[in-house]
A and B are shown apart, each in its own frame.
Chain A
Amino acid sequence: MPGLQGITERRVGDVTILKLEGRLVLEESEIPLRDYVNQLVANGRVRIVLDMRNVTRLDSAGIGMLVSKYLTACSKGGSLKLLQPTVHSRYLLEITKLSTVFEIFESEDEAVRSFGVTPV
């Protein structure tokens, strides 16, 4: 299944912003995200923001992948934060009690600042 249709990377200081496009659901589509984040963390880039505004569908496997990569980043001293999840995605994070785990931001500047980095 096609699922996640794109991951676009941008860097602000040592913060990496990954813009996700498409569906993050159980159908192998969460695998590209896993591999991408693993590669970043292996290269020492552990401060990560996932731009979720264009994630059109999210399910338990997709959220599971977010949790897994959050733990990966945290285990190396970094973190993974979420930018602008849709209303439905945010609801799913709430009912799974994960809105208490993930830091969620409405603006990219705020998300970057939360890592102690000044946006450019």
Chain B
Amino acid sequence: MAANTASRRRILIVDDDRALRFVLSELLSDAGHTVDQAPDGREALRRLDAGAFDIVLLDIGLPDVSGLDVLAHARAVASPPIVVMMTADDTPETLIAAVRQQAYRYLRKPFAPTAIVEVIDDAIASAPSASLSIEVVSARPEWVELVAPCVLEMADRIQSFVMQLETNLPEPVRESVAQAFREMLTNAIEWGGKLDPQRKVRISCVRAKRLLLYRIADPGEGFNIDKLRHAAISNPVDSPLEHAMVREEQGLRPGGLGLMMTRSLVDELIYNEARNEVVLIKYLD
């Protein structure tokens, strides 16, 4: 389906794999975008200097200049494009380097063509907040710590990076952990951070031999669990819809299922006393 005029973008594809460049170029041109290509890092730098791009799809393992160096260059131009990294190198060090340089997303090769379309659609939709930075506080693969502004688009962006750190997990476990992490992160951003980009959420991801631990600290005042009538965890056993009616009475958006869902998706869910920090634990054996 062709993009409407408002969502057409100028996209640069940088990859030494000619076949992949061709496929992506056809796909994105068919979607109505203007597509340019570069087979190596030097050509990418030249094109970035010569013209403004909205989005760059960038391979990390280029034959001459590293993709990470091209990323740094792209971030330094007057009007920086949104950069999506593509690579078969999924080492945590590479991933963290890409996060530190504010890559928008990280796609692990091989990926389905639909994945790239989805990422491009996300990038276009979140362009106003794509310039917001994620601060990398700790970059050890065993302990990654990030600070990010409280906008909803950050949830997808951070979830995408964090879950790339866990590529060796069985897919069902990875899917459950990803969902739990996103539920708690969106709670922190929406309720704790009030969707205010000036406020920050702090995320720690700790990888031990036998467990994964995620700590999410929001800038809010916390909450009283006894006053969560609008959350499904407060429902009487025989009334799974009660929270939905409470939410309607209180004018809240539909939802209220995140805590209940997360409790089942991970092994432990622990709040601090104020309940503005939460720890999720998934045991690996």
Contacts and interface: CB of A to CB of B under 8 A. Distances in A.
Contact of A65 (B126, B254, B258, B264): B254
A12 interface: no
B275 to A, nearest CB: 17
A67 B254 contact: yes
A30 B118 CA distance: 17
Contact of B254 (A68, A92, A100, A101): A68
Given A1-B156, A30-B254, A61-B254, A68 B240 contact: no
A27 B122 CA distance: 11
A95 B261 contact: yes
29 contacts: A1-B125, A1-B126, A1-B153, A1-B156, A26-B190, A26-B255, A27-B153, A59-B183, A60-B255, A60-B257, A61-B186, A61-B254, A63-B257, A64-B244, A64-B247, A64-B256, A65-B254, A67-B241, A68-B248, A68-B254, A71-B245, A95-B260, A95-B264, A96-B232, A96-B240, A97-B232, A98-B240, A100-B240, A101-B240
B186 A26 contact: yes
Contact of A61 (B175, B235, B253): B253
A97 B186 CA distance: 22
Contact of A2 (B122, B235, B258, B261): B122
A113 interface: no
Interface in B99-136: 118, 121-122, 124-126
Nearest to A92: B261
B179 interface: yes
Interface of B: 118, 121-122, 124-126, 152-153, 156, 175, 179, 182-183, 186, 190, 232, 235, 240-241, 244-245, 247-248, 253-258, 260-261, 264-265
B182 A59 contact: yes
A88 B175 contact: yes
A112 B266 CA distance: 37
A26 B152 contact: yes
Contacts of A34: 254
Contacts of B124: 2
Contacts of B264: 95
A101 B235 CA distance: 14
A10 to B, nearest CB: 20
B244 A71 contact: yes
A35 to B, nearest CB: 13
A97 B238 CA distance: 10
B111 to A, nearest CB: 14
Interface string A86-98: 0010001001111
A2 B125 CA distance: 6
Given A59-B182, A92-B179, A96-B257, 11 more contacts: A1-B122, A2-B121, A59-B258, A60-B183, A60-B255, A60-B258, A61-B254, A68-B248, A95-B264, A96-B260, A101-B240
Interface in A59-90: 59-61, 63-65, 67-68, 71, 88
A26 to B, nearest CB: 6
Nearest to A58: B179
A61 B254 CA distance: 6
Nearest to A88: B175
A26 B255 CA distance: 9
